[in-house]
Structure 1
Amino acid sequence: MLRKGMFIGDRYEVISHIGVGGMADVYKGKDHKLDRYVAIKVLKEEFRGDKGFVAKFRAEAQAAARLAHPNVVNVYDVGDEDGINYIIMELVEGITLKNYIERKGKLTVRETTSIAIQVAMGIEAAHNLNIVHRDIKPQNIIISREGKVKVTDFGIAKVASSRTISSVTMGSVHYTSPEQARGGYSDAKSDIYSLGIVMYEMITGRVPFDGETAVTVAVKHLQEEMVPPHVYAPEIPVSLEEIILKCTQKSQERRYANVAELLKDLKQSLVTPDASFVKIISPDETGKTMLFTKGDMNKIKADAYGDNAAYADAYGADQNGYAQNGYADGYEQGYADQGYGEGGYDDQYAGEDGYAGDGRYDQNGRYADDAYGGGQGRYADDYDPAYEEGDYDDDGYAEDDYDEEDYEGDDYDDGYDEDDYDDSYDDRRSRKKKSRYEDEEDDEQGELNPKLEKLMFVGGIIVAVIIACIILVLIGKAFGLFKFGSKSNTDQQETTEDSGQVEMPKLVGEQYSDVQKTLTSLGLLVKATYQEADNYEEGQVMTQSVAEGEMVKTGATINVTVCSGKEVISLPSLEGKEQSAAEQALKDLGLTADTQFAYSDTVDVGKVISTNPASGSDVVKGQQITVTVSQGPETKTGTVPNVVKMTQADAQAAIIAAGFKVGSITEGSSDEVTEGRVISQSVVSGTKMDQGKTIDLVVSTGSDAPTVPNVVGSDFEDAQETLEALGYVVKEETQYHATVAEGNVASQSVAANTKAAKGTTITLYVSLGPEPAQDHTQAPEEGQ
C-alpha cells in the first residue's frame, strides 16, 4: 500500500486509495508537473517478483499509452520506482456501466445505442493501432459525470491473460467470445462479440448466458443458441436486435468484419430503427470441413509466438512458460483489474469488486486445448465441484510448476508432418535415434520420455488401487458391512444436476437471518410471515412449509412463520399518494419512514413511486419503511454537436446520439455547401441544453447561381444591361484593341458559361479602337 502524501517518479503525489482490482491497487493522485489529477494503478506485491509478468505489464501499458481517444481512459505514463510498478492513467469521475445497469434495471433503446456507439468508437481507435482489448465488459466501461463513455484497461487484459491463474472469473466469462472460451485465436472480432453481449445486457437487463459456474457459462457460449433480445425487451427495434445478433454470432466469419461496419449500422439504427438493413451471413451448411495441416498449425503458432513458436508448441505456453493455450484470454480477468473496487467508490471509476473469481480450475484439464491433448469434451470430465468460490488460490500453478524437462526432449520432432514422411530421411535418422513418428505402430510403442514413462507407471498403480477400493466398498455395501446414514452423506445436502433437488434442513428455532442465508446457498427462495408468540424469541422461525429431510426442487419458495415479538401490521398501499400523506400514514401505524427520491417518467412529482417492503407485506411496529418519492422525469444536459456540412443522415445520427431530437428539415441553395449536406443548424454547436429538445436543420440543394453569358463583341451598354439583369455588378475598363471596334467589349473577367453567384463583380474591357501611331521624328539637338 502506498502512503498518502508520498511521491512517485518525483511528480505524482498519492492523495487517497480509491479501489482495488485483481492485480492492482488504484489511487487518486496529482501530477504536479502538469497540475492535473490522475489515477495511479500499482501492481500488487504478489506479481512484482515475476519478472516475465512485470515485463509484459510494462510492454502492454506502453502499447496502450499510444492510444489517445475521447472514448478511452487514456494511459499517460508507466514506470517503476523502488520495486513499485505503476501506470498513470486519466482520472474519470463517474460510474461503471455495470453499476448503471444495476441501478436502472435495463436501459432504453436510445441509451443502449448511444453508449454502444461511443464504446465502439473507442474500440475502433484501438483496433486501428492493432490493440485488441480481449475483455470488453460493463465493468471496464465508465460513464463520466458529463455523460462521456470511456473504455478502460486496454492492453491490461492481454497481460493478465498471459499469467497462469488457476481461476476463471465469473465477471469476464459472461462476455467472452466462443473462440476465447475454447482457448483459440482471438482477434478484433472477439471484441465485437463481447460488445454484442454488453449491448444485450444493456437492453434486456440480463446477460444471455448464465450459470452456477464459469465452466457452465463457457459451454453455453460455445453450444447454446442465444434467446433473442425481444423476448426480454419487447420494445427493442428490429435493427438493434439484428445488430446484437450479428455481433454475437458464434462463428467469427459471420460477425461484423470490423468495428467501422458496426458503427455504420448503429448510426443507421438511430435514424431508421424499425428498418431491417443489417446483413447477416447465412451459414453454409453444404460447405466442406476445413482441415488444418501440421504446416498450418506451425504457421499459426509462429504468428502467435514469433521466434519462440517451437518452444510454445512443446509447452502449450507463452514465452514465459505460462500455460496460455489452456485458458481463454477473457477468462482470467480476476487479474485484469476491473477498474476500481466498489468499496472505494467515490464517483471515481466505480468498478466492480475487483476480483469475482469462481474457484480453482485444473490448468491441465479445464479448458484444455490441443497443446494438452484435450479439448472441449474434457470440460465435464475434469471439472471438480468441490472447488467453490471461496477456494480460489492462484499459487497452485506458478511458473516453477512447469518443468521444461517434462516437455522437451530429444525425441520431440516439431517439424514432423506425417504427409511428408520420407523413408530415406528416417533411415538416416535411425542411425542416431529411432524416430518417434516412424509409423502408426511406433506412434503407440515408440520410446517415451523417462519421466513420462514413470508418471504413467505410477498413475496406473493409483488407478488400480482406486478401482479395487470401489469394488470393496460396493461388495461391503451389498452385504450390509457399510452403513450410509442420511446425516453422514453430505451428497444429500448438495444440489444434483440430475434431479435439481436439495434436502430441506431444519429451520424451526433458527434465526430468520440465518435461515435466509441457508436457503439462498441451497438455491431456494424464502417468504416470511410474522406472528406474535410467547414460546419463541423475536426473529426465530416457528414453522416451515417443507418438513426437514424432504427433497425440494431448487428455485422453490419456502414459506416460514417468524416470531415478530411485536404487533404485526399489514403495510397498506402508498403508491400514488403525496409524500406528506404517505409519511403521516406510516406514523399513524407506528412505523417510521425513510424517504428517498428517484426520477420517474410515469409518477408525478412529489408522489410515492414504491415502498420497501412492498404494500401488503407483514411488518412490525417500529419498523423503518423506505418510501421512494418521484422527482419527475430525469432531465439531462447535453452539448449540441456541430453538424454543419455533414450529410443529412450523419447529422441526424449525431443529434440523436447526443440525446436531442431532430426538428424540421428545410432545404436551401448554397454556393459553398454541396447538395445533401447541412447548411446550418438552429442551435449553435457547443451549446449546453436539456436533452430531448429539438434541433432544426437546413439542407443544401446545391448552387442556384446563374450562368454568365458571353458578351464579348457586344456594345458595352447592351452588355452591361444584360449582366445587370442577371444580378451581376458591372465594372468598365478601356483598352486599345486592334480588331474590336471602339465601344464594343473586347473581353470579360468571368468566363462565359460558368456559374457565378448574384452580386459578383464582372469587369468588361471596352475597346478604344486601334492604338494611334506614334511620331518617331527626333527634334534637332541644340546648337545644330
Structure 2
Amino acid sequence: MVQDVPNDPLIGSTIDDRYLVLSKVARGGMSTVYLAKDVRLNRNIALKILHPHLATDNAFIERLQREAWSAASLSHPHVVQIHDHGAGAAHAYLVLEYIDGHTLRDVINKEHALTPRQALDLLDPIVEGLAAAHAAGLVHRDVKPENVLISRSGWVKIGDFGLSRAVTTTTNTGTLLGTVGYIAPELVNGEGGDARSDIYSAGIMLYELLTGEQPFHGQVPIAVAMAHVRDAVPAPSTIVPGLPAEMDELVRYMTEKDPDNRPANGASLLEDLRHIWATLTPAELDAGGSKDSSAPEFAAGPSAAADTAALTSALGRVEDQAAGTDVIEISGDSRATTVITAPTYPTSILPASSRLYVDDTESAVPGVGPDAFGDYDSDDAASGQALSKREARAEAKTRAKAAAQPTKTLGTGHPRRRAIIWVAVVVVLGILAAFAGWFLALGPGALATVPDVHNKSVTQAQKLLNEQGFERLPTTDVFDELVAAGTVVDTDPAAGASQRRFLGVTMHVSRGPVLYNVPQVAGKPLPEATTALTDAHLALGTVAEAFDEKVPAGIVLSQDPPTGTEFRNGTKVNLAVSKGPTPIPVPSVVGKTDAAAKTALKDLGLVPAIAPEQLNSPTVPAGSVLSQTPESGNLTAGGTVTLTLSKGPKMVKVPDMVGKQAGAATAELKALGFNVSVENLLGGFFGTVRFQDPQGGEAPEGSIITLKVI
C-alpha cells in the first residue's frame, strides 16, 4: 500500500472548489492518483492528476478531453466509470469511480500461477467489459493487470479508459502507447490499434495468469517490444505441465501476430471463452495453478448447470498493494477477502429440436424410422463401425426411399403410343432449345455491357441504357458530396460490367450532399457549444472574444452561420465568446475634495462609497480624500471604490516655553507634533527663550511655533 507523503501540497486542498484531496494512492509515469471526496455529492472518488509536463501540453489535453468524453459515455458494471474531467492553469485531472479493493497484479503477485478455472473466472468479466467498450466504439490500448480493479464486494472492473481512443478516430501513429509487456505487435510497428489490440493484451494477461510470469523478457523495453513482433507466445503448458490443450490454443488464438487471425472484438472472444469453459472437464479446469495449499478455491464458471444462479470465486487475501504504476490503485484492508461475482450470462444448452431437417425421415414420415427397418445399428456394431446420428438418419432416409420404389411393372405399354410420345417430347425440346438460344443470344436474356452514365441526367442515362437493350431501369436516391443533385452517381452493376438485359440496371441518382442543420449554440458555454457542433456533424471555426457587460465570460455571444441554416458535413461555425464586463482602471482621487472625487469615479462607471470614519491629517485639508480602497487595479462597471475623508490637522495645546532653554523647548514642542523656528536675539548668548509665538492656546498639529532666544 502506498503511504501518504506528508509534504504533498495537494493533500488537504480542494481542486476546482469541489474535490477535497484526502490521501495519495499511487504515482505513475503520467499521473498521480489521490483518494478524494466530491464535496458536492458527498462521495469518495479517485482523482487522477496529470503530471505538470503533460498538463501544459495543449495537444495532449485536447486529446484527453475528447477521449474522456467518449469514455464517459460507457456505462458497464465491469468498467470503471469516468465522472468528470478538468483542465486549468494549475492542474489537469480525471475524476473516476472509487474502487475500494486491489488490482489483478496483487492477485498474481500473491498466487502466482492460477488454475484454468481461476484464470477464466477472472478473465470472463474483463472480456465482458472490453466487449461493451468495443460495442461503444472504444479501444482501451493498455490492458494489463494493473488496470484491472477488484472491489471488496467482488466486482471486477477495467480502469484507465481515459487514455483510450475512439475507434472512429484511430489513425496510424508513430507514438507507442500501452505497457511494453502487453503491447500488441501492430502498435509496436506504428500501424495503429483497434479492438483486436486489446484482445492481444488480454491474451498476454491470460498467459501470465496461467504461468505467473510474462512470456517475453529483456534488458531494455525495446527488446521486449520487438519480441512481441518477432516471437510467438509460447504455450502456457511448457511452463506449467498438465494444462489442457484448450488453454494453449486459446492463448495462441488471442496472441496471433496478424490481427486478422485473432477474435474480431471482445464479444467474439467472450463467446469463444465461455464455449471453451463449458467443454473442459472439472479435472482440466483445476489443472496447474499454485501448489501452495493456501491457494484460493474458485467456484464453478460459466460451464455450470443452468440452474446455478450465482457463481463466485474467492480470491483470498492480498497482502501487498502494487505501487508506481500509472493506474488507479485504491488501497484497502489487505486482510479482507473479496468475491468475484459470476458472469452475467452463464452458458446454457438449448433443448434439441424435434425436427432439424424438413426431410428428416425420423419425424417427417409417420411410422417410418430406424426401428421400422430393424436394428441396423447391430449390423454396424458387428462390423466394428459405429454410426453417428447424422449417418444413421441418412441411412434411414435411403432405406425409406428404397421401400417406396416399386419392384415390379404392373402393366405393359403400347409401343406405337410410346413412339408418338417420344416424338412429341423431342419436338417440344427442340422448340424450347431454339427459344432458349434466341433468348440468350439475341433476346432479353442476351448479355450486354453496362454503359458509363456517371454525371448524366436521368433522361440521358435511360436513353444510353435503352440503346444497349436494358428496359428495366429502377432508380434509388443516394447522397453524394461531388455529384450534383438529379444526376447519376453510378449503376448496379457498375459501368463496363456484363448483365443480362432482362435483369435491368439500377441507377443511383444523387440527392446532392448531406446537409446538416446548424444548432443554436449562442448562450451556451464554449465547451458545450463545441460538443453541440460536433454532434451536428459540423466543426468549430474561429473563436473571437469580446467584452460584454451582461454576459458572463466563456458564454457564446453569437454564431456565424446562424441557427436554422443547413450546410455540409464538417462546415466550420465561427463563434464570438464573451470575455465578461470591460475592465475599468481605478483612478487615484486622494487629495481631491469629496465632490470632485465622486464625480471622477461616477464618470468612469464606478460607484463611490464614503467610509463612516474620518481621520486627521496634517497635510490633507478637512473634507478631502485621505485614502481610497482599492488604490489601483481594475474593476468592472458598477464596482465600488471606498473613500476615507480627512478631518484636517489635529488641534494641540501649545505649552509656554518662555524662560526654558532653547534646546529643551524645541524638543518638547516637536514631540507634540509642532515644527519649531528659532530666532536668536543679540546672538542668543544665554540660550534662553525670551519670547514665543504663539504663546498658549491651541494650534494645528504640524504648525510652526516661533521661539526668540537671547
TM-score category of the 2 structures, normalised to the smaller one: 0.3 to 0.5
More relative contact order, 1 or 2 (CA 8 Å, 6+ apart): 1
TM-score of the superposition, structure 1-length normalised? 0.36
**Rg (Cα) greater in structure:** 2
